[in-house]
Structure 1
Amino acid sequence: MAFRKIMTIALTSLALVGTSLTTPASAAPTTVDSLAECPPGYGCLYKGWTWESHPFVYFHYGYYNLTGVSGRWRSYNNQTDAATMWLCAGLNGTNCPIEWELDPGDTLDMDNMQVVKSIKLQR
């Protein structure tokens, strides 16, 4: 069990290197305990185009501003009740193109995540 905890901390640290996520204070992202897990009801971002990294998970409806996020990322909407997840070109959940809308169960791979300035979860 101690080995798993150490590996979780090490992998979480690697996932956060060079990545800064800023969000409203009451809705900060977290990482989950096991690899490739995006709990039901959450929107998730994975570094790279695989399910092998620790995702950043978002639960509360609203927007999350992103800074320092670039390169390839996978977005996955595992929300329920027809809630959508949007990738937005503007801060504060603004300028969200329809092609960047994810319905529940949708996945979107972005080659250049630097153009995404925020994500928005809404019902």
Structure 2
Amino acid sequence: MNARTKFGFLVASGTLALGLAASVAAPAAMASTTDTQGCPSGAVCIYPQDAGWNGGHPSNVYYAYGAHNLSNQNGNHYVFNNQTGGATMRTCTGYNGNGCQGYLQAGTYMVKDLTPINSITLQP
């Protein structure tokens, strides 16, 4: 498998060591029907800078659709979309959801330099 290995497949196959999840390159698929890595089902979570999954303790949790401005989010962070029903998330260089790029699909995560990112959006 390549660097975008599906986390759910690894868990199902029983080959995932506890520390491996932090080293899997993103984006990668993860099961998202329950709390995963401390991120509640239905939420988008951002984990502290350079902390991987931070022991299942995200620093920011977002539930509501729409734009969410970020502050003091610099460097690389895990960003996990644990929303359900196919909801997506975008990162945006401007505040209030302006200058958005790409889509992070439900059940996936990415490692992203949030230094130039000033907001995220959650959409159904």
* TM-score tier after normalising by the smaller chain length: 0.5 to 0.7
The residue that corresponds to 1:108 in the other structure is 110
- Provide the alpha-carbon RMSD of the alignment: 1.9
Unaligned runs of 5+ in 1: 1-35
Distance 1:49 1:78 in 2: 18
Spell out structure 1 runs of 4+ moving beyond 3 A.
Answer: none
The alpha carbon displacement at 1:122 in A equals 0.6
Match of 1:92 among 84, 93, 96: 96
- Shift in Å, 1:113: 1.2
Cross-structure match for 1:70:
74
Q: In the alignment, which residue of structure 1 is the partner of 2:52?
A: 50
Letter in 2 for 1:38: C
Give the aligned length: 87
In 1: Cα distance, 2:51 partner to 2:83 partner = 20
Q: What is the percentage of aligned positions where both structures have the same residue?
A: 39
* Structure 2 counterpart SS, 1:107: strand
TM-score, structure 1 length as denominator?
0.65
Q: TM-score with structure 2 length normalisation?
A: 0.64
Which residue identity lines up with residue 61 of structure 1 in the other structure?
Answer: Y
